[in-house]
């Protein structure tokens, strides 16, 4: 069975892209077949895995509009997963989708042709609650919410859960929230620990462990087009994502 996991939080800078890239690489290390989907017009996932978006002739926007098949757009990245890349053209596609019937299901329908080729499909959602995020949630089995342990991220979780509730009502009644993943975590600060506890109790959400520590190694990895699992294999950040990947397999 293929598991489709949306990594979503409308707040930017919470390590959604880092989580998708790192979990994808960790799952490949565990022998899983993995597809990563870049749904952010900024194409950060595409760039961080060594693909220059400006050189691409085809990308995910053509797939969502039905102009191209997924198999014709896929690229394989050095870390092992396949990637459905994005370019800035995805921004215009979001506006085009708003006028189309069944827009919420565009991604799910597009992925149907390749879903049996993978064990995991990881969706990197944009920092918004627009149609691209809704399409991702409509295609997903599970949602993972990366979150910095600070007050503004805490507020965003509630807004995202409202969107998840609407998606369950109208487009994907089987969608489940896997939990919150603390990122850029500094356990030495009382504020970080307090916010994490508040999220767990306020929203009754599972908190995945271990928290992903704050480290410069995450910023260094995209410069060479790889994930932290390749550039700093024994770092605490890399080891954290490996443990989370094992948790995903165990719970799946």
pLDDT in tens, 152-197: 666 778 888 999 999 999 999 999 999 999 888 776 777 777 777 7
For the domain covering 3-247, report its CATH number. Answer: 3.40.50.300
pLDDT score for 64: 96
pLDDT score for 198: 78
pLDDT score for 56: 95
What distance separates the 2 farthest-apart alpha carbons in the chain? 51
**Residue numbers of the chain with a pLDDT score lower than 70:** 151-154, 187, 252
pLDDT score for 103: 93
């Amino acid at each position: 069975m293929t598991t489709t996991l949306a990594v979503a939080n409308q707040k930017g800078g919470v390590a959604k892209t880092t989580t998708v890239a790192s979990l994808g690489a960790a799952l490949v290390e565990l022998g899983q077949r993995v597809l990563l989907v870049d749904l952010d017009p900024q194409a950060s996932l595409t760039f961080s895995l060594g693909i220059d978006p400006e050189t691409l002739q085809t990308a995910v926007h053509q797939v969502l509009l039905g102009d191209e098949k997924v198999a014709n757009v896929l690229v394989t990245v050095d870390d092992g997963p396949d990637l459905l890349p994005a370019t800035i053209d995805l921004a215009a596609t979001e506006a085009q989708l708003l006028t189309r019937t069944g827009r919420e299901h565009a991604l799910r329908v597009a992925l149907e042709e390749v879903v049996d080729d993978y064990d995991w499909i990881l969706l990197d959602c944009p920092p918004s609650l627009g149609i691209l995020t809704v399409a991702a949630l409509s295609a997903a089995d599970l949602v993972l919410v990366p979150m910095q342990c600070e007050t503004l991220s805490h507020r965003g979780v509630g807004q995202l859960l409202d969107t998840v509730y609407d998606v369950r009502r109208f487009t994907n009644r089987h969608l489940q929230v896997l939990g919150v993943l603390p990122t850029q975590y500094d356990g030495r600060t009382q504020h970080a620990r307090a916010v994490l506890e508040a999220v767990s109790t306020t929203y009754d959400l599972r908190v995945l462990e271990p928290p992903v520590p704050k480290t410069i190694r995450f910023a260094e990895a995209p410069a060479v087009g790889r994930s932290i699992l390749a550039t700093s294999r024994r770092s605490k950040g890399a080891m954290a994502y490996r443990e989370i990947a094992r948790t995903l397999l165990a719970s799946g």
